[in-house]
Structure 1
Amino acid sequence: MDIPRGGYTLFWRMMIGCVLFSGLTIFTGIMVFKEWLKWTHYPIRFNRQNGMVYVFRTNGSVLSVPWKEIFFTQEKEPGPLREWCIRGYVLDKEGETILETFSLGICGAKGLLPGYWEFIRCYMEEDVTSELADIIIVCPPIENRREGFVFGFQNLIYMYSRMEWISLIWMLPMSLVGSIARYIASQTSKIPQWPQVVLDACKSDVDDSVNVSADNNPKDMWRLVFANQKYENWKIRGERHEVALSKINAILAKRYGNQ
């Protein structure tokens, strides 16, 4: 086929357009079938009072299993990024066949997992709930509601240091696109609803002094996101965090020694 000399530019533009359109179509298809039109999130409830774990499955049903009967391990996700995650396995009586499996919802570098796991383990097995509450900085505002666009965007660009301002320039466009896809997923998906039997089992005591939720989130979220809190607020939060960690370490050291 002969293409006029002046037509080469148009030809390549059309080819590039087709490639970009195909890529966008594939990306959209993945989002639709994997993230959109599903559930806004897949929660897990840890009940330290009755020693039970409740896992919201992808099909909307709930797995109820005793904490002590779950075998937790860290392994790599099967996806293209091969990130590390923590999985819980429910085995048969012989301990040889896997009956159920679920993820604790964290993926990333292997070094991030121990602290995340220890937080959950301490909540279920140690008497340090008030100290753990002081470690929590932000709770996602998704209980019985959909995540808003602003929080989703804030969550994607959250910074731990002002040094990360350097990466903001080239990360911002990707984060913006990701936040739009995240918002669409939230708005097109159903809000998970726990069965009444789970709600009854996990009902908080009226006199429970530990109450942490999205209502306790910092009022200066944008400052927190950009690692630019006022010095007084940053100092108070840091000192509370350090005191809580010191108490937890002292309690664990007294119980387990230096192992």
Structure 2
Amino acid sequence: MIYVYQVNGQVLSAPWVEVFFTRATPGGAIPSWGIDGHILAQDGETVVNTFSLAVSVRGSSKLLSEYWEFIRCYMEEDCVEDLAELVALCPPVENRRESFTFGLQYLMKMSSRLEWIFLPVMLPLDLLAGVARWVAMQTSAIPQWPQAVQDACVTEPDDPVNVSAANNPRHLWRYVLANEAREEYEARYARQTAANNRIRAKLAERYGKKTA
């Protein structure tokens, strides 16, 4: 079952198999791509409601396909524990608003220390964007799922999967600036690579072909 918290405070619900997902783009010189889910009427053609997944990719849609495969595997495949290993960073927003510091860290996140060369230019822009982001967070309501949804999604006390901000990298600024200790980086890379390989093996076994 899918539950969607809408900006008007209402909650949509629909079985996963009954939602039609498709790529979506507003166009433009450098188009950005997202994923929309359409809830259809009983005729299977009329769209009665639409929601978007939290992703926006500019240029190539390859990353969009990878994002979709993560969601699809979570909903359809038996590999949740391995998927959890692929998540390196979670916003600390459970029952609270995002802080200015984390918002800035999220905006500044780098993939390589080579990006340091752009820091003098990007830092002022990130600070401005961080202030705007913080204002948006402070003036937004904290989503609260209805009790019926919470009751339907109760987590077992002994559930081995825990994806939350509690598992974020210990030295968050070093992670954001691509400056972690080699041991920390290599340990996380090894875990993620092993998890990715296990997922690929499961999909290959189920579908009888090599997965991309």
Q: Structure 2 length normalisation: TM-score? A: 0.94
Query: What one-letter code is carried by the residue in structure 2 that aligns with 1:216?
Result: N
Please state how far the C-alpha of 1:183 moved relative to its aligned partner. 0.5
Cα separation, partners in 2 of 1:80 and 1:91, compared to 1, 3 Å: farther
Which of 1, 5, 9 is equivalent to 1:60?
A: 9
**Superposed counterparts of 1:42-61, under 5 Å:** 52-61=1-10
Which of 36, 41, 57 is equivalent to 1:92?
A: 41
Query: What one-letter code is carried by the residue in structure 2 that aligns with 1:57?
Result: Q
Q: Partner residue of 1:132? A: 83
Higher RCO (CA-CA < 8 Å; seq separation 6+): 1
Which of 159, 170, 174 is equivalent to 1:208?
A: 159
Query: What one-letter code is carried by the residue in structure 1 that aligns with 2:138?
Result: Q
Q: Partner residue of 2:187? A: 236
Please state how far the C-alpha of 1:251 moved relative to its aligned partner. 0.4
Show CA shifts across 1:166-210 (max 9, x none). Answer: 222211111110000111111121101110000000110112111
Q: Partner residue of 1:102? A: 51
Unaligned 5+ residue runs, structure 1?
Answer: 1-51
Query: What one-letter code is carried by the residue in structure 2 that aligns with 1:55?
Result: V
Please state how far the C-alpha of 1:132 moved relative to its aligned partner. 0.6
Which of 119, 133, 137 is equivalent to 1:168?
A: 119
Cα separation, partners in 2 of 1:147 and 1:80, compared to 1, 3 Å: farther
Q: 1:80, 1:58 → 2: CA distance?
A: 29
Please state how far the C-alpha of 1:112 moved relative to its aligned partner. 1.3
Query: What one-letter code is carried by the residue in structure 1 that aligns with 2:123?
Result: L
- Number of residue pairs matched by the alignment: 208
**Cα RMSD, aligned residues only:** 1.4
Q: 2:30, 2:134 → 1: CA distance?
A: 23
Q: Name the SS of the counterpart of 1:106 in structure 2.
A: coil
Please state how far the C-alpha of 1:67 moved relative to its aligned partner. 0.4
Please state how far the C-alpha of 1:81 moved relative to its aligned partner. 6.1
% identity of equivalent residues: 52
Query: What one-letter code is carried by the residue in structure 1 that aligns with 2:56?
Result: C
Which of 187, 192, 195 is equivalent to 2:146?
A: 195
Please state how far the C-alpha of 1:95 moved relative to its aligned partner. 2.1
Unaligned 5+ residue runs, structure 2?
Answer: none
Q: Partner residue of 1:145? A: 96
Q: 1:215, 1:67 → 2: CA distance?
A: 29
Please state how far the C-alpha of 1:97 moved relative to its aligned partner. 1.3
Show CA shifts across 1:194-238 (max 9, x none). Answer: 100000001101121111111111111001001010000001000
Cα separation, partners in 2 of 1:226 and 1:240, compared to 1, 3 Å: same
Max radius of gyration: which structure?
1
Show CA shifts across 1:35-83 (max 9, x none). Answer: xxxxxxxxxxxxxxxxx00000110000011000001111213688641
